[in-house]
Structure 1
Amino acid sequence: MTQRGNRRELLADAAIEVLARDGGRGLTHRAIDREARVPEGTTKNYYPTRNALFEAIAHYLAERHVAALEALCAHIPEGVCPDDITALYAAMLSRMSGNARSQFLALFELHLEAVRNPEVRTALGEISRASVDTAVQLHSAVGRRIGRRGAGLLDAGMLGVALSTLSLPGELVEDLGLDDAEGLTRALLTLGGTRDEPALEVLRDWAG
């Protein structure tokens, strides 16, 4: 990778941290310069406007997300079973509010920006499309069918749970069972139409 490429990646990672920590209003060229520890004016040289900043972050996250899911689908192990799929999605759900917290906080800020910015909306569409394609392929690998609408519902549900987990008071998250990654995953997979168990039974078990 060229030095210019490395600098763009450095700035994008710094911008994600700033957006996650300070929100859209705090996303400034100077804040990113400070976060990346580069000379003042560096970010503005690469991304002259705020729109350019949002679009760069969105496309950067989309590229990483799509690449990760393509790698996952290219290396589905032999003997994978439905329980493995459940465990994978539960791990993803935990990661959203765990070690990938900054990326998902930034992602939610981008969803707000996408209401007004078509370029950001396009990038978020790439993320959602890749998630849907992956769900279809993973479930096909274990002999289960999930339609694109069901996979879309699964993706939206995962994002909604992650947003609630990150934004609601901790005691309420626990009270509502939103910290039960495995139980929530089973319920979301059921809503998506991928489980053999009767939907009402699975949802009733999770809801207590």
Structure 2
Amino acid sequence: MAENANRRNLLRDAALEVLSAEGSRGLTHRAVDGAAGVPSGTAKNYFPTRDALLAAVAERCLELFRQAGTLPTGATGPTGREDFAALLRGLLAEATGPGRRRVLAYLELHGEASRKPWLGKVLAEISAMDFATMERLQRSAGFDVTPQRARVVTMAVHAAVVDLLAHPPGVPNGAGLDDLDAFVGGLLDVVYPRSPTDG
């Protein structure tokens, strides 16, 4: 049983890699077998249809988002404006750096979900967790949070990630994302203006 679970996890991660690298059209059983380094036909044994492959990637994305949304034991979250700004810069850097493939796969799933309502339900669960986590982190940072303000910050970060992924380095995007410090600082200043006593 453990061997089957390990093989299934290997295939799920391989499917995520294929989806991020080749796009939706490149997600085939053959490609997943190749990426996982397993005999031809293995992926089809575990995930008989293409929809099953997509579900496997969505399931893996959901697990990764759950892990990312859980603070380590004893962690309190950001404790102020600068701490939260650093967290947002880190999220943007991670999404376009080490986490690039995961985020690309997640975006590819959104395209598929526009035609597959069952997939949209899985992604909606990820989105709900994401918004709840971001609101919790903004409260932790001491902002005067409302659900609307929390959503604006979260949506702006989402849009920034897409824009950063779509534009190669050195290509102007018009959103000011060539300076992440200024982008994040400006976003927070608009949503959570500093009071005169903030200095």
TM-score, normalised with respect to structure 2:
0.87
The structure 1 segments of at least 4 consecutive aligned residues displaced by more than 6 Å after TM superposition are: none
Partner of 2:61: 61
Classify 1:22/1:83 alpha carbon distance in 2 versus 1 (closer, same or farther; 3 Å).
same
- Match status 1:181 vs 2:171: no
User: Could you tell me how far apart the structure 2 residues matched to 1:102 and 1:48 are?
Assistant: 24
Classify 1:11/1:190 alpha carbon distance in 2 versus 1 (closer, same or farther; 3 Å).
farther
Alignment of 1:17-96 (within 5 A): 17-71=17-71, 75-76=75-76, 80-96=79-95
User: Could you tell me how far apart the structure 2 residues matched to 1:173 and 1:149 are?
Assistant: 30
What letter corresponds to residue 87 of structure 1 in structure 2?
A: A
**Deviation at residue 97 of structure 1 after TM alignment:** 0.8
Structure 2: unaligned runs, 5 residues or longer = none
Higher helix share: 1
For the Cα contact (< 8 Å) 1:55–1:119, is it kept in 2? no
Across the aligned residues of Structure 1 and Structure 2, the Cα RMSD in angstroms comes to 2.4
What letter corresponds to residue 60 of structure 2 in structure 1?
A: Y
Q: Secondary structure at the match of 1:70?
A: coil
User: Could you tell me how far apart the structure 1 residues matched to 2:178 and 2:8 are?
Assistant: 35
Q: For residues 92-128 of structure 1, give each alpha carbon's deviation from its aligned partner in whole angstroms, at most 9, with x where no partner exists.
A: 0111111111111111111111111122212221222
Classify 1:138/1:175 alpha carbon distance in 2 versus 1 (closer, same or farther; 3 Å).
closer
Alignment of 1:1-208 (within 5 A): 2-71=2-71, 75-76=75-76, 80-173=79-172, 176-190=175-189, 193-196=191-194
What letter corresponds to residue 100 of structure 2 in structure 1?
A: R
**Deviation at residue 197 of structure 1 after TM alignment:** 6.0
Aligned-pair identity (%): 36
Structure 1: unaligned runs, 5 residues or longer = 199-208
For the Cα contact (< 8 Å) 2:172–2:178, is it kept in 1? yes
